[in-house]
Amino acid sequence: MTHAPGNHGLLDLYGCNETILKDEGRLKTALVAAAQAAEATILTEHFHTFGGAGGVTGVLLLAESHISIHTWPEHRFAAIDAFICGGMKLEKVKEILCRELAAERAVWTAVQRGEGILDDIQPSVEQ
């Protein structure tokens, strides 16, 4: 039996709205909406805004893993990392965040993590 515990998505967003990339509250709302659309369970969150023209870094800790974001408003760029276990809808994270951050261009990479981990488990044999 082949099993993969989760899917990992990396999303680079270019040409985002600079004001959104500096707004911790708006980014938190966007990540929560993405997690909900993926049907994930939010356990807790932590965000930090860097002073001046700096950006925001934040993470949602999920029962199914995590979604994190790091923004560079001066470059109109955001990097998102989403690891979702089980049958959650990872693609929804991409759709919501592309829209909410008003990205002009997105680069999405998704991979299965731990594929086949159950293949190595041998049934115990009683002697």
Give the pLDDT confidence of 110-123 residue by residue, as tens digits.
988 887 776 665 55
Burial status of residue 110 (CB atoms within 10 A of its CB: 0-12, 13-18, 19 or more): middle
Q: Which residues contact 16 (CB under 8 A, 6 or more apart)?
A: 71, 76, 77, 78, 101, 102, 103, 104
Return left, alpha or beta for 67; rule: phi > 0 is left, psi -120 to 50 is alpha, else beta.
beta
Active-site residue, from 66, 68, 70, 98: 70
Active-site residue, from 65, 66, 68, 124: 65
Active-site residue, from 3, 85, 98, 124: 85
Residues of the chain with pLDDT under 70: 1-4, 118-127
Is-catalytic flag, 16?
A: no
Is-catalytic flag, 68?
A: no
Residue 120 confidence (pLDDT): 60
How is residue 29 written in tokens? 């709302």
Residue 100 confidence (pLDDT): 97
Residue 1 confidence (pLDDT): 46
Is-catalytic flag, 98?
A: no
Which pTM was predicted?
A: 0.86
- Distance (Å, rounded) from C-alpha 3 to C-alpha 100? 33
Residue 87 confidence (pLDDT): 77
